[in-house]
Amino acid sequence: MANLITLSRLLLLILIVAIAYQPHSAWQIINVPLLILVFVTDGLDGYVARKRNEASLFGAMFDIAGDRIVELTMWIVLADLDMVPIWVPLIFVIRGIIVDTIRASGAEDAGQSPFDMMQTDLGRWLVAGKFMRIFYAVLKAVVFCWLLLIYPIPTVLPAIWADWGGLLEGIGQFLVYVTVLICLLRGLPVVIEFVYGERESILGRRHDGGESRG
């Protein structure tokens, strides 16, 4: 059931993208509640998995993959619609590839959920902490909803856009920059712990090799 909820999020995402590419009209505002539903079901699938005792490594990985698909698709679409600069989705793509590769490798080796792999207190708080996960999800929901909300305004409500367009765009860009910053901060501990772990592993092998030769 939890995995079906995750799948439903991806189907909703396809509908949102299709609506976003329609000619500007007031009914495009429906994308805002649809996107809110996508983010609500993000928390719902984990809740259902715990309640139905369906939690699994596959489910955790599928949930993360669903999050990544939603996130990257929205950034790419918004860049294509000229709502954000192209460097924004590039940062999320590069960060996602690096972090997810590290997580997948660690999960395969240790058989752990990706969020259970963090070793330091700061890393656990930034990456796996409930507050940061909820805060980051809400922040992404707010920035995506805001940009989709103002997207049709120049055509649908030109008078309002003429008076308030600069402020509305400024708020959107501020939210984008904050989201990029939090994205990088949450990815940094994963990379640092991986590099440190690899360094310790290499030094350990050299030490063991030296002892065996001795």
Taking residues 129-158, report their average pLDDT: 91
Tell which wins on pLDDT, 64 or 164.
Answer: 164
Q: Is the overall model pTM greater than 0.85, yes or no?
A: no
Query: For the domain that residue 177 is a member of, what is the CATH number?
Result: 1.20.120
Identify whether the C-beta of residue 118 lies closer than 8 Å to the C-beta of residue 190: yes
- Say how many CA atoms lie within 13 Å of 133 toward its Cβ: 14
Question: What domain range is 102 assigned to?
Answer: 2-213
90-133 confidence digits (pLDDT tens) = 999 999 888 888 877 665 555 555 555 666 777 788 887 888 88
The enclosing H or E element of 66 equals helix 57-80
- Say how many CA atoms lie within 13 Å of 138 toward its Cβ: 6
Taking residues 20-45, report their average pLDDT: 87
Looking at the structure of the chain, the number of domains it has is 1
